[in-house]
Amino acid sequence: MHFHGKSDQVPLTTPPVYAEHSQGYTQASIIDRSTGSVHTGLSLNQLAPGGTVSPHLHSYEKGFYLLDGEAELSVADRCWRLVPGDFGALKVGTLHAWRNSGKRPARWLQMGAPQPKPFGQERDTFFARQHTADFSKPKPLDANDLNGALLGHFDASQIPVGAARDALPGMKGVFLKWLVDEKFGARHHRLVFIEYQPGASIALHDHTFEESYFLLGGEIEGIMDGKRYLARAGDVLWTGVGCVHTFTNIGNEPVRWLETFAPQPPAENVFRFMAEWEQRAKDLEGPGVKT
């Protein structure tokens, strides 16, 4: 199972659970049950100038990457001013709040895992009625002063040149930067920044977890379950467990996207490449065996 869509065609609305606990906060769900997903809850989130989201926590894990604007995030009685390229993970049960004191909307990509429940089912978001977030002294991110918060920064200007772009054996011209994973402190998902140089591709494969891909720039050809798609900035792709897929940069400029995994991959045999297993089958079964 797979999905291809355009994020700008999904309207931004105030999620019902936040209606009485936020101002100027809207969300566009781009990967959820309606797209066939079981594990992934991917959304675009926007906070208007002067907007706030009251202190709350979830019974699911959340990851985010700031795309545009600036926003203040309060976590564990500390407050940070986030800028584009800042990212983070909020573990299950982490109390946090948002504010936008700037003059432009703040917009971020957000991942929820396990997948957030639809409104009207069992609750998985809870607001702290007797807690007020202190936004009086927001600070920029400082890797040496995070007080245990799972936060970081990465943007395209930090991509290295040369051989460092070869992320995996046999994948030339591909750069991969893990943002949120087990080493970072997450337990239910991963978030990764990917760049493919022109002509770069990955062989046909599948795996035991769901992936979503939010295109930041460039043009990519995706083949999912044998069907061909073209994706550009703002498009979103999703592959379910067992979906055989491949991606190729067919343009003249680098293509970049944010990718999520849910649940986290197994410790071994993360990718199942079709050509590799066909070759192993030939070696095992000998010539002349029909497949």
Per DSSP bridges, beta strands 255-262 and 190-196 are antiparallel
Give CA–CA dist 131/122, Å, rounded.
23
Q: Where are the alpha helices (DSSP H) in the chain?
A: 274-285
Residues 6+ positions from 90 with CB-CB distance below 8 Å: 58, 61, 62, 63, 64, 75, 96, 150
Class of domain 2-155: mainly beta
Cα 207 to Cα 37, 201, 210, distances in angstroms: 15, 17, 8
Q: Which two tokens stand for residue 281?
A: 């089958």
> What pLDDT was estimated at residue 168?
65
d(CA 165, CA 185): 25
Q: 255: which 2 tokens?
A: 């293509």
Q: Is 164-285 assigned to CATH 2.60.120.10?
A: yes
In this structure, the strands spanning 78-82 and 139-140 are parallel
- Distances, alpha carbon 277 to alpha carbons 204, 206, 269, 273, in Å: 11, 12, 12, 6
Nearest CA-CA partner of 73 in 110, 120, 20: 110
Strands 219-224 and 245-249 come out as antiparallel
CA–CA distance, 222 with 4 (Å, rounded to integer): 9
pLDDT at position 161: 81
Give the model's pLDDT for residue 57.
97
CA dihedral (158, 213, 40, 121) positive or negative: positive
* CATH 2.60.120.10, the chain: domain bounds: 2-155, 164-285
Mean pLDDT per 10-residue section of the chain, whose length is 291 residues: 96 97 98 97 98 98 98 93 98 97 97 95 94 90 90 95 65 91 97 96 95 98 98 97 97 96 95 91 82 57
Using alpha carbons only, give the angle 27, 233, 258 rounded to the nearest 5 degrees: 70
| CA separation for the pair 148, 106 (Å, rounded) | 24
pTM score of the predicted model:
0.95
pLDDT (0 to 100) of residue 289: 63
* pLDDT score, position 143: 87
